[in-house]
Structure 1
Amino acid sequence: MHVVRLFRSMLVQSCLAFGCADKLKILSSHYDSAIKHIRSGIKIMSEVYCDPRSGTFCHPFLRSSTVTALEMDSLRKMLVRLQDQAMTLTREEVDMQLSQSVPISEIDIGIPEVFRSIGEARDIFEFYRCKAGRQFRALDTADPDNFTDLIHHYSRLIEKLAVSLNNFERTRGPLLTARDKTGLTVIRIYQKMQYIILEYGKLGVSDQRSWDNYNSIFEEIVMLAASVVDSAQGIDCLSLSPSQLAELSQNGRLKPSFSLDMGVIAPVYNVATLCRDPVIRRKALTVLRSMSRQEGVFNSHACALVAEQAIAIEERMAAGMALNYQDERSLLKLLPGTRPSWQSETAEITHSDEVPDSARLTYIHPTLKIADKNVCLTIGQPGKHMDIPVPALTAMLDLVTL
């Protein structure tokens, strides 16, 4: 079933981005080594078991560990998160298989009427997000009934999580620290994005125009993300022009940050590439350019660069420029330059309705070619697929560091 296949792909690709990761390579830009370390960590974790007699964690070839179950669970969650991110970056079958190798509970954990802390809310939300991703990826595309059942199951869970989060904010809001408020905002962002994806799945369609139904929620996500960035950077990012943001970045005034936890890059990137409203997606691009963030394998600079390509390709096709998947040069004509004046180049697009389905990309993401140590821009529409070298992305392979 095409809709199931598309939606399953959408869940895998909903956080498409590019960056560097893993504890050993965080600051070094050795992306190929980072991916290998993540794979090795997941493989080791999948082979670890607990000896109930001694209370230690054992491995067939490594020394036993005396870490607590809580510490082991935290390590498992971190590795699973990084491996899922690595999978969106490489698209390789080995990562698809590894994503299923570390077991997670098959029993749904309870959702309280009100969360006790931001940490509890984040952990429960992450649990269901991870579990949903695995279940949708494992779906048989010829079984639409299971697809529909899963959609409704997770829609109910999202509603229940929202109620618990609202109760938490109502009862604990005045007592929250600035850090907790930021954490609450990030969870709200993911809650809204998951709602959009599930509602899109309920439609049972494969056209890209249906994303226009959620433009108002896309804008809410951008505004929430902007508040997170403004709080961290001490700026009003949406009031700044691209040249002002570039100057802040060049002068080192955008504070760099790194996190292995939930962040705002992926959902903002989703808005920039799924929302075709020219104003909203440019706000999302501005938010990405206002960051200097590394969130796991997701890098804000690279995401901004790819989002810029998406905007240029789709809006230039909507304006009448042709894309020939058999001719690499036709795509190069659609890509913006190194420093494009994309605002003036695509001013004729004023509303998402003006971008026809034929001009919309089903997916766009950077693909890391580990063996060749370069990066391609991977784009596709139904029945069409192309990898195109983008020198600016390949250069970022060596230049992006924190």
Structure 2
Amino acid sequence: MPQAPPAKKGRRRVKTGCQTCKKRRVKCDEGRPACQRCVSTGRVCDGYGIWGGGGNAYGSSDKVPFVSSSSLVRRNQMQPLRNIVVMSQTRAIAGQPASLGFEYFRRYTTTKLPGLFESGFWDCLVLQASEQEPAVLHAVTALGAAHKNEERISLTEYNEAIRHLRHSLKRSDKEALRVCLITCMLFVCIELLRGGFKAGHAHLTNGLRILREIQQREGVTSDGDIILRSKAVSVEDTLVEVFSRLNVQVALFGQVSSYLLFVGDSAESPRTYDIPQTFSSLLEARKYMDALINGSHILGEQASQLILSGQCIPEKLYEDQGRLEAALMRWLRALDSSHEKLINRADYRTKFAIPMLLLYHTMTRIMAATALRGTDEMIYDHYLPDFSLLIKQSADLWDLMRTAMKKALGLRGSSRPDINFTIDMGFIPPLYYALAKCRQPNLRRMILELLKEVPHREGAWDGFTVINMGDLLIEIEEEGMYEGIEIKPSCYLPDPSVAEVLPIIPASQRFNNVNVALPDFESGKATLFGRRYRGNNQWESKIVHFDSAFRRLNPLSWECIQNSCVGMC
């Protein structure tokens, strides 16, 4: 009886090693920075994904390397982040319901979430990591599903991401920390999309703490500050960038930030907001602006804590204020000097990004100038022309963006784009700040009108929620002062003869501090915490609940408006 030929043994799939050996399905010796198996055969080693490596003596890859921050201390430990996506893990979910979430993330979420400014995290790092790490892949899929309103898929993938992350954290090496931080930022975004604001803030705080500890361990910073490099050279730099952006946004809405942010290269970098004479890119201008916003906010928080405890403001804080105001002037000069260069090399987002930066400069200038006001809320009346400029800048920018969006979507007449979401800052923080601090009734009502026009969510903040807060704040502070008086919303201050007729809100009715706590998930009330100064170091606190107005999303990708914006800059 003839015997059947022996069955062929399948080749065992290679799960570890460099990308080149995986493609060839051969055993890799996992040498660093390039494996010897590739080098000895004259091949280019494609490295180990986001964990670095690659290259050889016979040729060089055309991928862009980013040197690990640790290499600044030890040059022989280079771990570049390579600009490549190798389709491997994602094949495992192809054809499954979960693939809907991943594809939506890849096509739409990654273009919408970063907002107006480029982001190494969203543009490159997160997709690379999803090809190498199961925790990141499932977190990405959960975020895409949440963005698409596929709740069941999102919840299932979220749980899978947590399960794989726990397994990854059994290792205590640098790679495990990177996976933890990438996944942590994705969790923040998922929670904000779902309305889990407390959980999102907790993830953000934990991520910042880990990043600060990494920078301290590697000698990038020697104290509690976080260093944001003007040009990212490592995975950690990219992570600092995305976490610091969100931290600045959260801080602007009354959440205390304990991390001072500076742009520099090492622990020896001066903490003096050393603004360059010109900016090489809009991203560099944005990083310095983030540091100035963060510094102005923390300066105000430091002064507020001293005043609440009955202490005097020390001279050092006045010196810090002077440095901030001088840096803001240098920043504006640098942007003006760089304007032509930035426009000439601009992509379609630049048409909106430069006005957005100028809007934030106006807000931060007011913040820095009033940070040491103590109990004097009347000081903001001196900055009414600046508030008027802020509102006008917001209105002009929104008209510009609305025109582009309508053209891209084919909307006509008074139709408005659908609600969309970004994790980055946009209109809402400056308008929220002006709503809380500008007491001129025409300007204040114009802010509400603008917020009604902007169908937008930025991080945890929804335009309608801020409108509800503004209505409540106006009701409490004005207490019917303008009943019977016709007040028209306007970007401009009224004629002096008209302004004299309008009563001024007295100091006793003005809140010195306003914080808002959002509820977890879509139902429930938001809470406004306000504090008024009553003299003799006495304060009156007020807590009021109001509708959070959390809304579902129909996201609009920035890619939708690219064609209508090309050539307009």
Q: Could you say whether these structures have the same fold, taking a TM-score greater than 0.5 normalized by the shorter chain as the test?
A: yes
The alpha-carbon deviation at position 29 of structure 1 amounts to 1.6
Alignment of 1:233-248 (within 5 A): 233-234=402-403
Distance 1:313 1:221 in 2: 24
Whether contact under 8 Å (2:514, 2:529) holds in the other structure is: yes
2:460 counterpart residue number: 297
1:270 counterpart residue number: 433
1:25 counterpart residue number: 191
Q: Which whole-Å deviations, capped at 9, do the CAs of 1:237-269 have from their partners, x for residues lacking one?
A: xxxxxxxxxx97xx8x33333323332211111
**1:46 maps onto 2:212 in alignment:** yes
Whether contact under 8 Å (2:292, 2:328) holds in the other structure is: no
- Relative to structure 1, the CA distance from residue 155 to residue 88 in structure 2 (aligned partners, 3 Å threshold; closer, same or farther) is closer
Distance 2:529 2:236 in 1: 36
The alpha-carbon deviation at position 184 of structure 1 amounts to 0.8
1:169 counterpart residue number: 339
Distance 2:370 2:262 in 1: 28
The alpha-carbon deviation at position 367 of structure 1 amounts to 1.8
Between Structure 1 and Structure 2, the one with more helix by share is 1
Q: 2:516 aligns with which of 346, 366, 373?
A: 366
Whether contact under 8 Å (1:312, 1:342) holds in the other structure is: no
Distance 1:172 1:235 in 2: 20
2:378 counterpart residue number: 209
1:255 counterpart residue number: 418
Question: What secondary structure, in the 3-state scheme, does the structure 2 residue paired with 1:40 have?
Answer: helix
2:390 counterpart residue number: 221
1:324 counterpart residue number: none
Q: Which whole-Å deviations, capped at 9, do the CAs of 1:142-176 have from their partners, x for residues lacking one?
A: 44201211111111111111111122235555665
Residue identity opposite 1:288 in structure 2: L
Q: Which whole-Å deviations, capped at 9, do the CAs of 1:168-202 have from their partners, x for residues lacking one?
A: 23555566555212111111111111212222347
The alpha-carbon deviation at position 109 of structure 1 amounts to 5.8
Q: Matched residues, percent identical?
A: 18
Distance 1:278 1:206 in 2: 22
> Which structure 2 segments of 5+ residues have no match?
1-186, 219-231, 406-412, 490-497, 534-538, 555-569
- Relative to structure 1, the CA distance from residue 27 to residue 313 in structure 2 (aligned partners, 3 Å threshold; closer, same or farther) is same
Q: 1:375 aligns with which of 511, 515, 526?
A: 526
Question: What secondary structure, in the 3-state scheme, does the structure 2 residue paired with 1:23 have?
Answer: helix
Distance 1:50 1:270 in 2: 33
Distance 2:259 2:396 in 1: 35
Q: 2:201 aligns with which of 35, 40, 46?
A: 35
Q: How many residues align?
A: 320
1:100 counterpart residue number: 259
Question: What secondary structure, in the 3-state scheme, does the structure 2 residue paired with 1:24 have?
Answer: helix
Alignment of 1:100-119 (within 5 A): 100=259, 107=270, 108=272, 110-119=274-283
1:146 counterpart residue number: 316
Distance 1:144 1:173 in 2: 43
Distance 2:509 2:216 in 1: 53
Distance 1:169 1:301 in 2: 34
TM-score, reference length from structure 2: 0.49
Q: How well do the aligned residues superpose, as a CA RMSD in angstroms?
A: 3.7
Distance 2:350 2:431 in 1: 20
Whether contact under 8 Å (2:279, 2:285) holds in the other structure is: yes
Question: What secondary structure, in the 3-state scheme, does the structure 2 residue paired with 1:364 have?
Answer: strand
Residue identity opposite 2:209 in structure 1: K
- Relative to structure 1, the CA distance from residue 73 to residue 296 in structure 2 (aligned partners, 3 Å threshold; closer, same or farther) is farther
Distance 1:138 1:265 in 2: 24
Residue identity opposite 1:209 in structure 2: M
The alpha-carbon deviation at position 110 of structure 1 amounts to 3.9
- Relative to structure 1, the CA distance from residue 117 to residue 353 in structure 2 (aligned partners, 3 Å threshold; closer, same or farther) is farther
Distance 2:292 2:377 in 1: 26
- Relative to structure 1, the CA distance from residue 311 to residue 254 in structure 2 (aligned partners, 3 Å threshold; closer, same or farther) is farther
Distance 1:373 1:389 in 2: 9
TM-score, reference length from structure 1: 0.68
Whether contact under 8 Å (1:364, 1:377) holds in the other structure is: yes
Distance 1:131 1:215 in 2: 23
1:386 counterpart residue number: 542
**1:195 maps onto 2:346 in alignment:** no
Whether contact under 8 Å (1:89, 1:368) holds in the other structure is: no
Q: Which whole-Å deviations, capped at 9, do the CAs of 1:23-43 have from their partners, x for residues lacking one?
A: 232432222332232233233
- Relative to structure 1, the CA distance from residue 136 to residue 214 in structure 2 (aligned partners, 3 Å threshold; closer, same or farther) is closer
Whether contact under 8 Å (1:111, 1:161) holds in the other structure is: yes
- Relative to structure 1, the CA distance from residue 353 to residue 144 in structure 2 (aligned partners, 3 Å threshold; closer, same or farther) is farther
Alignment of 1:321-360 (within 5 A): 351=499, 353-360=503-510
Whether contact under 8 Å (1:29, 1:400) holds in the other structure is: no
Residue identity opposite 2:352 in structure 1: T
Q: Which whole-Å deviations, capped at 9, do the CAs of 1:97-124 have from their partners, x for residues lacking one?
A: xx33999756246422222222221112
- Relative to structure 1, the CA distance from residue 83 to residue 115 in structure 2 (aligned partners, 3 Å threshold; closer, same or farther) is closer
Question: What secondary structure, in the 3-state scheme, does the structure 1 residue paired with 2:544 have?
Answer: strand
**1:288 maps onto 2:444 in alignment:** no
- Relative to structure 1, the CA distance from residue 89 to residue 199 in structure 2 (aligned partners, 3 Å threshold; closer, same or farther) is closer
- Relative to structure 1, the CA distance from residue 229 to residue 283 in structure 2 (aligned partners, 3 Å threshold; closer, same or farther) is same
Question: What secondary structure, in the 3-state scheme, does the structure 2 residue paired with 1:375 have?
Answer: strand
Whether contact under 8 Å (2:262, 2:291) holds in the other structure is: no
Whether contact under 8 Å (2:456, 2:462) holds in the other structure is: yes
- Relative to structure 1, the CA distance from residue 276 to residue 369 in structure 2 (aligned partners, 3 Å threshold; closer, same or farther) is same
Distance 1:353 1:168 in 2: 44
Whether contact under 8 Å (1:200, 1:210) holds in the other structure is: yes
Distance 2:514 2:216 in 1: 42
Report which structure shows greater RCO (CA 8 Å, sep ≥6).
1
The alpha-carbon deviation at position 289 of structure 1 amounts to 1.2
Whether contact under 8 Å (2:421, 2:457) holds in the other structure is: yes
The alpha-carbon deviation at position 214 of structure 1 amounts to 1.4
Residue identity opposite 1:227 in structure 2: D
Whether contact under 8 Å (2:442, 2:488) holds in the other structure is: no
